[in-house]
Structure 1
Amino acid sequence: MPEKFRWVFWDVDAKALDTATDRDYIIPRVLEFGRLEEVRWLVGTYGMNGIHRFLRDVGHPELSGRTLGFWRAVLKAEGEAWASSPAWRRSSAAPWID
């Protein structure tokens, strides 16, 4: 993990992240919070097929609808089934409100 990207991984030691074993943590974090430079690195590291596979098969609750919509358009996957976000992510209400 490039040292200059550590701001994207504010809650962990970015130097300790392994691109192979921590893939399912790195991809959503960069897709949701990364700038163009980080996204270019992500595409170079995992490829568009790797990102597509992640979104289709794994998914992550951290990914917003806006991010998912953008990547659906980029990957030309508008009609494709992707891993769904948990119900709390799809709701507009705060989870602590009854």
Structure 2
Amino acid sequence: MEEYITRFSTYLFWDVNKDDLDMEKHSQYIIKRVLEYGMLQDWNIVKQYYGLGRIVEIAKGFRELEPRALAYLSAISQTPKEQFRCYTYQRSNPQHWNF
């Protein structure tokens, strides 16, 4: 498990100690961070460890997710955006007017 953590880009977990990360206990944090800030090599590491199906199931529960990350994940997994909580939550939460 630790070999996966050390293979991630160095900047990806700037706010935590990488030695304290556990691929199972912190799966939501790791997946979200890679989807929003990771490079292709980071995505490949996450996909190799968790598998696309598990990533999608975990991501469906995210309250927020960067729109590009959502579009990418939706496209490669062929999962409609409407099945992701972050998409429906964003649509039901009215935003301030942009003047």
Q: Same fold (TM over 0.5)?
A: yes
d(CA) in 1 for partners of 2:59, 2:35: 10
1:68, CA displacement in angstroms? 0.2
1:70 to 63, 72, 80: 72
Relative to 1, partners in 2 of residues 1:38 and 1:82: Cα closer, same or farther, differing over 3 Å? same
1:20, CA displacement in angstroms? 0.5
d(CA) in 2 for partners of 1:71, 1:2: 24
1:84, CA displacement in angstroms? 2.2
AA aligned opposite 1:34: G
Runs of 4+ in 1 over 3 A off after TM superposition: 90-93
d(CA) in 1 for partners of 2:8, 2:56: 25
d(CA) in 1 for partners of 2:28, 2:79: 20
1:91, CA displacement in angstroms? 6.8
Q: Does residue 6 in structure 1 map to residue 24 in structure 2? A: no
2:59 to 47, 55, 59: 55
- For the 8 Å contact 1:31–1:39, the answer to whether it is kept is yes
Count of residue correspondences: 91
Gaps of 5+ in 2: none
d(CA) in 1 for partners of 2:47, 2:25: 17
**Root mean square deviation of aligned Cα:** 2.5
> Which whole-Å deviations, capped at 9, do the CAs of 1:35-70 have from their partners, x for residues lacking one?
0111000001110011111122x2142x21111011
| 2:86 paired residue number | 84
Q: What TM-score comes out, normalization by structure 1 length?
A: 0.77
Q: What TM-score comes out, normalization by structure 2 length?
A: 0.76
| 1:96 paired residue number | none
2:29 to 25, 35, 42: 25
Gaps of 5+ in 1: 94-98
